[in-house]
Amino acid sequence: MTKQKLYKGVIDMLSDGNAYVVCDEFRKDVFIPRRYTYRALNGDEVLFRVTPSKSSGNKMTGEVANVVKRADHQYSGIIDIEKDRALFAADNKKIPYYFIIPFSKLNNANHDEKVIVKFSRWVENDELPIGEVVRVLGMPGEHKTEINSILHEFHIEQEFNEDAILEAVHISDSISKDEIRKRKDFRDTLTFTIDPDDAKDFDDAISFKKLDNDNFEIGVHIADVTHYVKPDSLLEQTAQQRATSVYLVDRVVPMLPEKISNVLCSLRPNEDKLTFSAVFEITPDAQVLNTWFGKTIIHSDRRFTYDEVQFILDAKEGSHADALMIVNKLALQFQEQRFKNGAINFDSDEIKIKLNEKNEPIAIYPYERKQAHKLIEEFMLLANKKVAEILNNHKFTSVNRVHDAPEDTKLSTLTNFAKRFGYEINAKSHRSIAASINAMLKDSEGKPEQHIISHFAIRSMPKAYYTTKKSGHYGLAFAHYAHFTSPIRRYPDMMTHRLLQEYLLKHNSPEPESLEKLCKHSTEKEINAAEAERASKKFKQMEFLQKLIGNTFEAVISGTTEWGLYAEIIVNKCEGMIRLTSIKDDVYTYDDQNYQVIGKRSKKAYKIGDKVLIKIMAADPMHRQADFEMA
């Protein structure tokens, strides 16, 4: 073989054993056929060569020459102990190989138990990799086993280092008079928090004051986490590594120990609390005239739940009703301004899963975001935007929350998809795209395709990420945007707090290179957290469906493939697969251009967005999948 240039990249495996290599030197990922992956495992750093002779169309093809650096390979899965050997099958679909586990490395695991296996080696000419059991989780399908498996699968550490906990415990609860003198005092200004009814940490509060000139002073007060979590401390290391709190269906895995998140930095009512604030003078028609940033002390007068605030907004009376009505009116005007400027109204569907004391799912229902949620959201958006503006406009290093415009190929796919339902996407400009998507989302409300349209539109957008590079947020139509308002649960907000304080103290701007690595790590941890949350919900949805096997429900076709249809039950948003072989009235073939399957004889079509009646045939919580049939 002619010697070819070698490139370095990270391998991304597929469930069929083929792979792609993500490499900074190429604009697109390089496809690696299974036989040329050279014993690489998902996430490994590899050296590879591009093989032009094997390329076709727009797909670049290559082969791995060597594994440079192994990723930290530990997997959850099932152990199969046979007479002469033990095999391990990983839950992760990106690990398409069995592992051989030597009997001396079973660590007391029993046949068919779920375990954590660590990769040991993969010797040349061996067909399979070798591993060792490092932890036994328990029997598959049990709640504790599966949740621990999800935590491990997405690299989420539940227990805190004992020294970090002790460091938090030793922080004083008292606020010195000297510290109060350094801060702007808002303790006599009406202040309240608005959170879910089951919230334990309150990291943001709103203050309200009517000014003599008939304008309003609205303060967005954020828990001053970095006052307590010092650089180079164990708590700082913990926050950096975790980067985010994780919200699973049965628990919260916090970024910081309870003493920080639920006590010192939780803006509980009737307690003095240290905050970092953005304070705005706003006219009755929602024009922001003046903005002040600085360290403050507050005393929350009232802890509201979203439902309580919504009741007051609807009734136009109740505790602090006048202030809430004014703040809500301003929020509605801010929202209208955002949409006029080209923001996209992605109001994604959420589900709530109610568990009993045994962690069994007893109810699943859509969770409606009401105006009380949007009231708080608009002021958090305002604070985040203004912090980013002041740092970026003064050429000060900032941790930006960036959302890029959709790629042309994905926009074209969305446009073609929308046409199937009678919607038009005007792609002439960013603003016209946003206006078209908003119109489509609004027009589809209450229709069978509503959730599918919303889901497809969201999938067409790139994921937001953290970076020190200056760029805007496409979805919000903001030229500058950062995360400032949730430092209890997001490490990038802690970074933003420190940067803003450095700016206010007129210190030199830090070098962005020192923060970029932390931005990338935080983005990766955020993605892991979101996937873990989805996995935990899917697990409980499948448990819920197990009790409903044989029952029929109305569903909407949510996806089409060459082997079947995905359908989502309308009442509880649980999704399952209708295999084409189970539809007995005809032989159906896949029409990928039109997102449908068509009967060869009858020409009957099932397409995305169609309402169907399904029967639940099976549900597998361990693999988080269900089988449906047409009823």
Concatenate the DSSP letters of all residues of 335-358 into one string: HHHHHHTT-------EEEEEE-TT
Q: Are residues 524 and 378 in the same domain?
A: yes
Q: Are residues 529 and 579 in the same domain?
A: no
Assess if residue 557 is contained within a domain.
yes
Residue 504 has pLDDT above 90, yes or no: yes
Q: Are residues 23 and 93 in the same domain?
A: no
Arithmetic mean of pLDDT over the chain: 93
Q: Are residues 391 and 421 in the same domain?
A: no
For the domain that residue 123 is a member of, what is the CATH number?
Answer: 2.40.50.700
Assess if residue 118 is contained within a domain.
yes
> Would you call 576 helix, strand, or coil by DSSP?
strand
Residue 448 has pLDDT above 80, yes or no: no
Domain that holds residue 426: 408-461
pLDDT level of residue 484 (50, 70, 90 thresholds): very high
pLDDT for the residue numbered 57: 54
Q: Are residues 280 and 420 in the same domain?
A: no
Q: Which of 536, 566, 583 is the last residue of a domain?
A: 536
Find out whether 552 and 614 touch, Cβ atoms under 8 Å: yes
CA pair distance 469, 276, nearest whole angstrom: 24
CA distances from 628 to 317, 584, 600 (A): 48, 13, 22
Q: Show the CA angle centred on residue 226, arms to residues 221 and 228, nearest 5°.
A: 105
CA pair distance 262, 228, nearest whole angstrom: 13
Sign of the CA dihedral running 442, 447, 449, 450 = positive
Assess if residue 151 is contained within a domain.
no
Q: Are residues 238 and 272 in the same domain?
A: yes
For the domain that residue 48 is a member of, what is the CATH number?
Answer: 2.40.50.140
Assess if residue 541 is contained within a domain.
no
Residue 566 has pLDDT above 60, yes or no: yes
Give the lowest-confidence range in 337-341, 419-423, 444-448.
Answer: 444-448
pLDDT for the residue numbered 449: 77
Exposure b/e, 165-202, CB count within 10 A at least 16 = b: bebbeebeeebeeeeeeebeebeebbbbbbbeeebebb
Assess if residue 153 is contained within a domain.
no
CA distances from 597 to 192, 553, 562, 587, 626 (A): 54, 21, 8, 10, 20
CB atoms within 10 A of CB 27: 7
pLDDT for the residue numbered 23: 87
| Highest mean pLDDT, choosing among 68-77, 131-140, 586-595 | 131-140
Percent of the chain surpassing pLDDT 90: 78
DSSP 508: P
Q: Are residues 488 and 522 in the same domain?
A: yes
pLDDT level of residue 55 (50, 70, 90 thresholds): very low
CB atoms within 10 A of CB 289: 10
Q: Are residues 508 and 568 in the same domain?
A: no
Assess if residue 126 is contained within a domain.
yes
pLDDT for the residue numbered 418: 87
Phi/psi for 587 (5° steps) reads: -100, 120
Find out whether 470 and 263 touch, Cβ atoms under 8 Å: no
CA pair distance 433, 347, nearest whole angstrom: 17
Q: How many domains does the chain divide into?
A: 5
Residue 111 has pLDDT above 80, yes or no: yes
Find out whether 89 and 58 touch, Cβ atoms under 8 Å: no
Higher per-residue confidence, 116 vs 412: 116
Assess if residue 154 is contained within a domain.
no
CA pair distance 628, 615, nearest whole angstrom: 6
Q: Are residues 324 and 225 in the same domain?
A: yes
Q: What's the rounded mean pLDDT across residues 184-208?
A: 94
Q: Are residues 364 and 444 in the same domain?
A: no
pLDDT for the residue numbered 153: 86
Assess if residue 156 is contained within a domain.
no
The tokens for 239 are: 């926050």
Q: Are residues 361 and 510 in the same domain?
A: yes
Q: Are residues 508 and 443 in the same domain?
A: no
